[in-house]
Structures are given as C-alpha cells and as structure tokens.
C-alpha cells in the first residue's frame, strides 16, 4: 500500500473521454479524426514529447465552449474519484481554449464551475492549477496569472508552466508572472528537465521560484544536480507511464524515481494525462509496486511528500493527514 491516493500532476485536457469528445464534436461541428477519437486521444507506443502533446491536443477543438468545458471538468473530477483518488490537483491551460466568443475569464470560470459540480457530486477535494504555455510571451503569461488570481476564491490554487520544452526552453518571459503569482499567495510548479537538460530544473527554481518540478526526469542523469535538488528541497512530480511514452526515459527500469528517492529528494505521484496514457492514478500506483519494486518505506515517503507539497489550504491538508493514519 502506498497510502492516501493524492494526484499532484494531471492535466484536464488529458482526461477527455473519447465518447465525450465524439458527442461534443457533433454539437460543435468538428469533424471526427480519421482514425477515430479513441485512437486520436490515446498514445499506444513510445515516441517524443512533441508526439505525446499532439495526442493531448487532439481534444482541443471540442473544448471551446462553456458547456464543453464545464462537462469535461466535471467528468474529470468524477472519473478521478471513481479511480479512488482522495485529493486532486487538476491543471489546465485555459488560454488554449480561448475563442472569439469564449474569453479567458469565461474559460477559467467554466473550469471552476465544472470542478465545483464534480466536488459536489463526489465529495473529493479538488483545486485547479492554471498552466502557462512555453510559447507565451510575457504579456500572455501575465494575463494568465492575473486570471488565476481573480479566481482564487473559486478554487484556483497555483500556476504551472507546461508545453514543449525542446522547442521553447527560455524561462525569461515567465519570471514576472511567477513572481506575481507567488506574491498573491498562489502555489507554483513548472515542467522542467523532462525533455530539456538536467540544469533546467535549477533554472526553474532560480528564475521562477518553484519548489515543485513537473517530471524532472533528466535530473537523475547528473549526480551533482540530483544532490543539489535534494539539498534545495525540491519536489519532483513523477508520472511513470507518461515518462516512457514521451521518451523521457526508455523504460520503467530506467525511470529516475529510484535515484531521486535514494538521493533524498521529495517525490510525488501523478498520472499526467490518463486518457492519453491509458494509465490513471490507480494504475500508476500499481506500477510503482508491481513493476518498479518500490519498498514500503519508499512508498510511505512519497505519500508523506504529497501531503507536505499539495497546493491546498491547511484545513484540507490536516483532514487528508488524518485520513492517512
């Protein structure tokens, strides 16, 4: 047993049910992909991060309305709860879904509404993490941060940086936005050292002020960087199945989770994009024990880290901590 099931790295866009995409496509006048929605949304074999993101993006055309966004957000919460999750950080890139008649605040509001409906029907605590995308300029990053601040009371708890690290490695456009988010009391995390070099994690910490790193797989290739991460108190959000599919690691045996734990780093579990990977949190938890052979003490350390690093208020944290014992 790993302990309390907390999902600290999962993307709304990777939760879209193929059946929901098909229904929303009809109402939105979006053509069905030639290979069908299931094949379009799921990645069956390992490839690159760019290929992986293309599967996630296959859902984007059907998400450009209030009705669609409320529905997919509610269903994501319900599906996570059905999978046995006790706490969910649901991250999303709202700017991707902006349309002429669906402004940024409308997108975020719809996400919050769907989350609220999902929480009401499941009783599971959920927060939203709004992701900036690496192709943003500084103005776009600031617009996203200001929206996150406006919707704090509606469940937005943190900001993230996501996207294609190989094509857009520069962090400078995001420095001011992350500082503004932190000053407003929002949490902050960033995808780094997933497709980029190990030093990208240090850059994300230094420039963006994050204590959590999404994936960070390549840090484990550099022993000095790994020791630095442990001494600094960084937390790595790992998603084993996704990391194999994106090519961040060649296979589960080579996954950096063990070196990270052995170095004394805080590590937490997520399922990244469970429809894309066909591996929700319950499957990732099974993989940790059955296929990666993590020991009880290692699993307990991950559970404790999730409680410590979750983007939630203290009453929620204490309630989760009580459930874990």
Helix, strand and coil in the chain, % to nearest 5: 55, 15, 30
138 catalytic? Reply is no
Q: Is 44 exposed, middle or buried (0-12, 13-18, 19+ CB in 10 A)?
A: exposed
Calpha distance 138→299 (Å, rounded): 39
Residue 236's φ and ψ, nearest 5 degrees, are -105, 130
DSSP 145-162: HHHHHHTGGGTEEEEEEE
Tokens 């944290």 sit on residue: 317
Q: Do 15 and 315 touch, CB atoms closer than 8 A?
A: no
Calpha distance 323→325 (Å, rounded): 5
Catalytic site residue from 75, 194, 237, 298: 194
**Catalytic sites, residue numbers:** 194
């Amino acid at each position: 047993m790993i302990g309390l099931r907390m999902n600290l790295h999962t993307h709304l866009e990777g939760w879209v049910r193929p059946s929901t995409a098909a229904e929303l496509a009809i109402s939105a006048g979006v053509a069905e992909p030639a290979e069908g929605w299931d094949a379009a949304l799921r990645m069956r074999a390992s490839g690159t991060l760019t290929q992986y993101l293309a599967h996630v993006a296959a859902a984007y055309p059907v998400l450009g309305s209030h009705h669609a966004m409320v529905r997919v957000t509610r269903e994501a919460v319900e599906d996570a709860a059905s999978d046995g999750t006790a706490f969910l950080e649901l991250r999303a890139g709202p700017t991707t879904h902006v349309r002429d008649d669906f402004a940024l605040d409308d997108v975020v509001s719809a996400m919050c509404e769907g989350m609220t409906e999902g929480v009401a029907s499941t009783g599971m605590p959920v927060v939203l993490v709004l992701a900036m995308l690496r192709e943003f300029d500084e103005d776009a990053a600031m617009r996203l941060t200001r929206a996150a601040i406006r919707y704090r009371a509606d469940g937005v708890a943190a900001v993230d940086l996501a996207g294609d690290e190989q094509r857009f490695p520069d962090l400078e456009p995001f420095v001011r936005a992350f500082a503004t988010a932190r000053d407003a009391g929002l949490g902050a995390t960033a995808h780094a050292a997933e497709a980029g070099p190990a030093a990208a994690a240090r850059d994300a910490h230094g420039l963006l002020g994050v204590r959590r790193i999404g994936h960070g797989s390549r840090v484990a290739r550099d022993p000095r960087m790994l020791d630095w991460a442990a001494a600094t108190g960084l937390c790595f959000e790992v998603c084993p199945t996704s990391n194999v599919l994106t090519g961040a690691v060649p296979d589960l045996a080579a996954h950096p989770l063990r070196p990270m734990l052995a170095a004394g780093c805080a590590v937490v579990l997520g399922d990244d994009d469970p429809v894309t990977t066909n591996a929700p949190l319950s499957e990732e938890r099974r993989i940790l024990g059955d296929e990666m052979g993590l020991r009880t003490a290692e699993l307990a350390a991950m559970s404790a880290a999730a409680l410590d690093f979750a983007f939630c208020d203290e009453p929620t944290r204490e309630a989760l901590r009580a459930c874990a014992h």
